[in-house]
Chain A
């Protein structure tokens, strides 16, 4: 049995029993990275020297009161700012940002828990994409079959956990970017309620949609990591000032009386038969566990992708205006005037998907088109939000697949941006409504690729999501399966 088969709680017990040290955990992480990351390509930047030094110090001062995350090796998506540790957003425009000036709030919070940052994880450039093929560094591969994509945009974060390179990671989710790669890689990924986790230091893509969230192997670990990063933050004025429950207390193996809503739109045509079968089997399992489920309708689901891409791209076009070649990041070598310096620096620094979305957003916000596209999309956002409000008056959670299909092959969809966008049909509504949602493993396709079950909750009801997810996880063994990689682990 490898160290990566234990939960954070079990590892913490081993630390205190002196069976293992923090240095052992950190060594195991880098050993595994050396063994498999040539294939998986999950990391952009490693933090090896500093992490090993930190591990030594943590071993010396381990006390009885240590947090459950004490000394645990974590990977961080590369759009979360880490002081002194290169942060690129997988973009050439930030390739030279080797010495960022501050830590994101979530990084400060992890520092309080004394986790060890192993490195920065690959992603679609500026979190724009669903396959991690839009990284300017490498195509991260799916650990279950390296011909396949890991999903995206947090593809590195999900693949590193699935491959056993880190014990857990942070990702970010704007339209599915935690849940979709978690589904493709067979791990647990939560997008928290909008406002639950501070966005300070998360490089902004679409500010009304972005949330940072945990990616782990188990639901229990996920609850522990979420607990560490939530809370009101003065540095993020959209951060919510709400009472934080103890998420671990929600982990009871009991869903008797739970009322599940299953939107018929989430199991309609376009959803792969194997995915549908796995979700229906999961619902049967919930029945056995004492929950009830009924089919409902979210009638505006089919409009979510169009509304999402207009809104997210509009916000991105404004947010990415800050990359101007003046204060940090890339500046063109060409000797040109001021305006052309902006244009050339941005043309050289951004990849095509980012340019496409900046152009789409600039168009949707431009004079003469604002009402027809941007404002229209905001109104449709209201309808999508109301769909969920109606359902949540009568049900505790909404359940469906996370993605219409399992992972696809590298290169299969990258030349067809619109098809790639429409695949986000099951995840984008959750961001538009600001709701929390998790993806947990619920089966495998005949090709051996993981299938994800999506559980959506009410605003700030992460506890109900964890309770629902944990009951299923404990009654099944999908989360104990490991990809056969680097000789198996």
Chain B
């Protein structure tokens, strides 16, 4: 039986860059625990010699020529930004 602790949920939320309240930690601990328990079903299967599928089609590396093409301009790329200055995305300060 897999158990997920509140500490694990907080750790995962931090990795996923999601702010969570204490109530949400409670809720996710319960729900993720249920889902992970359900996923234990897969352990009925012996998959020792089975190759994992990452992709269903038999595609190898796909290459194309690296040539400049018409695409969105810098001004266009900036126009949906929540905050910008001098043609650059502005973010909260990173250094003290």
- Chain A residues in contact with chain B, CB under 8 A? 96-97, 99-102, 194-195, 208, 234, 237-238, 240, 300, 302-303, 306-307, 309-310, 317, 321, 324-331, 335-344, 346-347, 350, 352, 355-356, 358-360, 362-363, 366, 373, 375-383, 385, 417-418, 421-422, 432-434, 459
Contacts and interface: CB of A to CB of B under 8 A. Distances in A.
For the residues of B in contact with A, the DSSP-based class is: loop
Nearest to A237: B62
B88 to A, nearest CB: 11
Nearest to B65: A234
Contacts of B28: 355-356, 359
B38 A362 contact: no
Contacts of A363: 4, 8, 12, 32, 36
Nearest to B89: A326
A398 to B, nearest CB: 16
Given A309-B35, A378-B53, A344 B76 contact: no
Given A97-B80, A101-B80, A306-B39, A376 B17 contact: no
A347 B14 CA distance: 11
A309 B39 contact: yes
30 contacts: A101-B76, A101-B79, A208-B56, A234-B64, A240-B57, A300-B45, A302-B41, A303-B41, A306-B38, A306-B41, A309-B35, A310-B42, A325-B82, A326-B81, A327-B77, A329-B82, A331-B82, A337-B92, A341-B91, A343-B17, A347-B18, A350-B18, A355-B28, A366-B11, A373-B39, A380-B42, A382-B53, A383-B50, A421-B38, A459-B57
Interface residues of B, number: 52
B1 interface: no
A398 B8 CA distance: 42
Nearest to B40: A306
Contacts of A335: 92
A336 B92 contact: yes
Nearest to A328: B80
B47 interface: yes
B16 interface: yes
Contacts of B51: 379, 382
B83 interface: yes
A367 to B, nearest CB: 10
A257 to B, nearest CB: 29
Interface string B7-35: 01101110111111000100110011011
A301 to B, nearest CB: 12
B54 interface: yes
Nearest to A377: B42
B35 A421 contact: yes
B85 interface: no
Nearest to B57: A195
Nearest to B59: A238
B64 A418 contact: no
A418 to B, nearest CB: 5
Given A101-B72, A303-B41, A306-B42, A346 B17 contact: yes
A102 B45 CA distance: 45
A303 B50 CA distance: 15
B18 A359 contact: yes
A422 B38 CA distance: 10
A418 B80 contact: no
Contacts of B50: 379-380, 382-383
A339 B15 CA distance: 11
A459 B12 CA distance: 37
B47 A380 contact: yes
B93 interface: yes
A394 to B, nearest CB: 21
Contacts of A331: 82-83
Contacts of A307: 42
B5 to A, nearest CB: 12
A417 B35 contact: yes
Contacts of A234: 64
B20 to A, nearest CB: 7
A355 B20 CA distance: 10
A234 B62 CA distance: 9
B87 interface: no
Contacts of A300: 45
Contact of B92 (A309, A338, A356): A338
B32 A356 contact: yes
Contacts of A417: 31, 34-35
B19 A344 contact: yes
